[in-house]
Amino acid sequence: MSKIPITIGITGHRHLPPESLPSIQQELKSFYEKIKHQHPSTEITVLSSLAEGADMLCAKMALEMGFRLIVPLPMDAQEYRKDFSKEVAAAFDRLLTKAAQVFVVVPEEPKPEHCERGFYYRQAGIYVARHCDILLAIWDGMEKETPDGAGTYETIKLARKYGVKVKTINTIANDSNYKIFTLGGAGGNIANYLQRRDIINNDRIFYFNTDKCAVEHSSLKNQYCIGNLPSCICGGPPHKTIIERVFDEEHELFDSLTNEDSLYILIGAFAGKIGSVFLLKMAELLEKKGEKFVAIGILPFECEGRHKEEKALHALEELQNITSNLIVLPNENIRKLFEDLGIKEAFDKADYYATEVILELLFSLHEKDKIISAILQKDNAVAESIIKIKNGWQ
């Protein structure tokens, strides 16, 4: 019986953080082994354009696993080598000699009048996305678009457009010391959004709520229904003093979860019955312990009413008296960044926006004066807050 082939396309960043390489290599090896185990009678081919970084790493490990390597080049090899240092060019040549097939991609899109290298890189990305069964992306998780449309995120978008399954390996080291504490209903939505994006290690996300039903419906690994309140069952509005009492009663839990030398990211809604109090209490605890942290507070949409706005502004003022490690996300800005959104779509975008802020803090600490996320670049106030915090951590 003839074997049924399966093709894995490769996309990823050219520059991989050295501290992340061991975890990337381990996850890549596990992925290849899983594919090989699941398809024992299948010829497995890896489609890689052999750009520096992720492309070459995946190609090298694929050959070690006995997979077939096909190399669709964006341009002829001699011209392509101009991208590489002498050492990387030598690695490129070694991989070329081991490839089963090497060819230059024929552009699928019309060639622009003033054609630059980025055009050809994009055509190679299109070819890989269109001709694979699974796209493997070694990616920092940032949904960043490049001027020439030739970036990792664009290739991922193309694969999804073509109906191709995408497997991601994030470029942040799994042993990096960070914890994300999501607080209340708004925090839970953001935690679930982070989980769906499949970028953050699930072990690093912690969800706290007094609403038992909300916690039970979450699939997060670290989730805590705290307090023995009627609101856990019936969803009633607990008063601020009751929530403060809950935090005090659960002090041992929160103290144990903040006993590591980590970066702590706290996120919740200023107008939320849980988030507003817990942001304040967690900031007080971490400030007292001298831990590195940032609090991300969400301001409500105007349509949520004057009462919520006043409550949120009061909570913001209280938090500002405790810490300057604060990023304020006014939900109303979402309406300015994304026009013609219904209220449900606006809330969904607000959750997405909040996850971009978290990823920016985690993935770009080395870029202390730069914002990577395209959407965050459009919001000057939020971008300035992130840069200020990153500089303070240097």
Q: Inform me whether the pLDDT recorded for 233 exceeds 60.
A: no
> What mean pLDDT is predicted for residues 222-229?
79
Strand partners, 179: 264
Q: Are residues 230 and 351 in the same domain?
A: yes
Residue 134 three-state SS: strand
Digit-coded pLDDT (tens) for 2-26: 456 899 999 999 888 887 888 899 9
Most confident of 117-131, 164-178, 248-262: 117-131
Q: What is the average pLDDT across 386-391?
A: 81
pLDDT of residue 108 exceeding 70, the answer is yes
pLDDT value at 234 more than 60 = no
Distance, CA of 321 to CA of 279 (rounded, Å)? 12
CB 273 within 8 A of CB 300: no
Name the percent of the chain lying above pLDDT 90: 47
Mean pLDDT calculated for residue range 323-344: 87
pLDDT score at 115: 79
**CATH classification at residue 162:** 3.40.50.450
Indicate the residue type of 210.
T
The two three-digit tokens of residue 124, written as one number: 């190679």
Q: How confident is the model at residue 1 (pLDDT cuts 50, 70, 90)?
A: very low
Give the 3-state DSSP-derived string for the chain, with helices as H, strands as E and coil as C: CCCCCEEEEEEECCCCCHHHHHHHHHHHHHHHHHHHHHCCCCCEEEECCCCCCHHHHHHHHHHHCCCEEEEEECCCHHHHHHHCCHHHHHHHHHHHHHCCEEEECCCCCCCCCCCCHHHHHHHHHHHHHHCCCEEEEEECCCCCCCCCCCCHHHHHHHHHHCCCEEEEEECCCCCCCEEEEEEHHHHHHHHHHHHHHCCCCHHHEEEEECCHHHHHCCCCCEEEECCCCCHHHHCCCCCHHHHHHHHHHCHHHHHHHCCCCCEEEEEEECCCCCHHHHHHHHHHHHHHHCCEEEEEEEECCHHHCHHHHHHHHHHHHHHHCCCCCEEEEECHHHHHHCCCCCHHHHHHHHHHHHHHHHHHHHHCCCCCCCCCCHHHHCCHHHHHHHHHHHHHHC
Mean pLDDT over residues 163-189, rounded? 84
Q: What is the pTM of this model?
A: 0.70
Domain stops at, among 143, 170, 197: 170
Judgement on whether residues 239 and 106 belong to the same structural domain of the protein: no
Which band of pLDDT confidence, cut at 50, 70 and 90, is reported for residue 134?
very high
Which pLDDT score, from 0 to 100, does residue 215 have?
85
User: Which pLDDT value is given to residue 361?
Assistant: 84
Residue ending a domain, choose from 116, 143, 170: 170
Say which range, 31-35, 330-334, 373-377, has the weakest mean pLDDT: 373-377
Task: Show the domain range for 315.
Answer: 178-393
| Residue 363 within a domain | yes
If you average pLDDT over residues 118-145, what whole number do you get? 91
* Residue 158 sits in the same domain as residue 183: no
Q: Would you say residue 152 has pLDDT above 50?
A: yes
Q: Could you give the number of structural domains in the chain?
A: 2
The alpha carbon of 225 is separated from its chain's Cα centroid by a whole number of angstroms, namely: 26
Cα separation, 273 vs 277, whole angstroms: 7
Average pLDDT over residues 257-271: 90
Q: Between these two residues, 273 and 15, which has the higher pLDDT value?
A: 15
User: For residue 373, what pLDDT band results from cuts at 50, 70 and 90?
Assistant: confident
Q: What is the pLDDT of residue 266?
A: 95
The pLDDT value recorded for residue 167 is 92
pLDDT digits (tens, 9 = 90+) for 303-325: 899 999 999 999 999 999 999 89
**Percentage of residues in the chain with pLDDT exceeding 70?**
92
Q: Tell me if 1 is assigned to some domain.
A: no
User: Do 166 and 235 reside in the same domain of the chain?
Assistant: no
In which band, very low, low, confident or very high, does the pLDDT at 235 lie, cut at 50, 70 and 90?
Answer: very low
Q: Are residues 190 and 139 in the same domain?
A: no
Burial class (CB in 10 A: 0-12, 13-18, 19+), 336: exposed
**Phi-psi sector, 267: left (phi>0), alpha (psi -120 to 50), beta:** beta
Residue 143 confidence (pLDDT) above 60: yes
- Do residue 166 and residue 295 come from a single domain? no
- Please check the confidence at residue 119 and state whether its pLDDT lies above 80: yes
Of 142, 170, 198, the residue that ends a domain is 170
Contact partners, residue 306, CB within 8 Å, separation at least 6: none
| One domain for residues 220 and 291 | yes
CA dihedral over 134, 137, 32, 104, signed as positive or negative: positive
CATH of the domain at 244: 3.40.50.1440
Are 182 and 163 found together in one domain?
no
Rounded to an integer, what distance in angstroms lies between the CA atom of residue 229 and that of residue 105?
Answer: 63
* The predicted structure's pLDDT at residue 176: 63
